[in-house]
Amino acid sequence: MNKSHTIRVGYYQFAPEFGCISKNRTEVMNYLENTDADIAVLPELPFTGYGFSNREELLSLAEDPDDSGAVSDLLALCVRRSIHIVTGFAERSGDKCFNSSLLLGPSGICGTYRKLHLFDREKLYFDPGNLPLKVIDIGGIRIGMMVCFDWIFPEVARTLAMQGADILCHPANLVLTYCQQTMLSRCIENMVYSVTANRTGCEKHSFGDLDFTGTSQIVAPGGVIIHRAGSRKSEAYSAEINIDRAREKTITKRNDVLADRRPEYYLR
Ligand code: ACM
C-alpha cells in the first residue's frame, strides 16, 4: 500500500447468463483487463448464474477453485495487472458445494469465504458455510468478505470490523430491495468501507423468475455513498478511497463505535 493509504476499489455489475460459464468468464475478463481498480469486486456466482433447480444441477456447474479455468484466468490477470479480485464462486469441495467468495491476488488464492447465511432456495442445494469469518491482510489493507444475504445479519459486518476490516467486499445477487440502504448502516455502525457488487437482469426458471436489483455501490465510513449504480444496466465503476478513514472509529470526542460496546450485557 502507498504512504497516503489510498487505493482504488471497483466493481463490475452485469447480468451473467445462467449456466454459460465460458460466456460469463469472457465478459468478466474483458472488464478486468480494463479496470483501473486495485481491488475489483464481482457479483455473487458470476460464472454459473444464480438459480439452480436442484443439487444435481449445482454439482454439474460448481468447481474446485484449484482446478477451475475461470480461477486460473483470474489469477494470471492478478499477476499481469498487479491487482486483487474478490469474486463470488460456486465452490465444489469434495461432496460439498458452497456459495463462496474468493480473494485472489498476484500471490494466488489469498482467502475463501463460504456464505454463512443461505437465502431462500439456496438452502435446497448449497451447503451452509463452515469457515469462520476472517479478515485478510493484503499489503496493509484489511479485507473482509461477506456474500449477499449476510447483509441482514449485523453480526457479520461487526465480526469483520472487530477483526480490523477496512473494506467489506460484498458480492451479491440481490432480489430484495432493502440491502443497499442497510449497508449504509453497516458502514456507520462499524465505520468501514463497503463495496457491494450486485448483478442485474432476470433469470427465468421452471420454479419462477428472479429479478436482480443492480444498484451496486461503494460506501464510505459514516454511510456516505461514494457511488451507486443504476438498477438495470451493466456498469463498471471505481473510486479512490483512503483507508485511514476506516481506522478512525470515534464519532464524538467521547464515543468509539467499537471500544464503547458492552458485550457483557449482550445476548450470548
Ligand atoms: C441472496 O443472498 N443472493 C439474496
Cα–Cα distance, 128 to 76 (Å, whole number) = 30
The full DSSP string for 218-267 is EEETTTEEEEE--SSS-EEEEEEEEGGGGT--EEETTEETTTT--GGGS-
CA of 93 to the centre of ligand 1 (A): 21
Residue 104 Cβ contacting ligand 1 at under 6 Å: no
Question: Is 223:257 a contact under the CB 8 Å cutoff?
Answer: no
Name the residue ranges covered by the structural domains of the chain.
6-265
Residue 149 Cβ contacting ligand 1 at under 6 Å: yes
Residue 99 Cβ contacting ligand 1 at under 6 Å: no
Residues 6 or more apart whose Cβ sits within 8 Å of residue 260: none
C-alpha cell at 53: 433447480
Amino acid at 120: D
- At the second CATH level, the architecture of 6-265 is 4-Layer Sandwich (3.60)
Question: Is 205:182 a contact under the CB 8 Å cutoff?
Answer: no
CA of 76 to the centre of ligand 1 (A): 29
pLDDT in tens, the chain (268 residues): 445 689 999 999 999 999 999 999 999 999 999 999 999 999 999 999 999 999 999 999 999 999 999 999 999 999 999 999 999 999 999 999 999 999 999 999 999 999 999 999 999 999 999 999 999 999 999 999 999 999 999 999 999 999 999 999 999 999 999 999 999 999 999 999 999 999 999 999 999 999 999 999 999 999 999 999 999 999 999 999 999 999 999 999 999 999 999 999 998 7
In this structure, the residue with its CA closest to atom 3 of ligand 1 is 173
C-alpha cell at 220: 464510505
pLDDT at residue number 1: 46
Residue 174 Cβ contacting ligand 1 at under 6 Å: yes
> Which residues are marked as active site?
44, 115, 148
| pTM of the full structure | 0.97
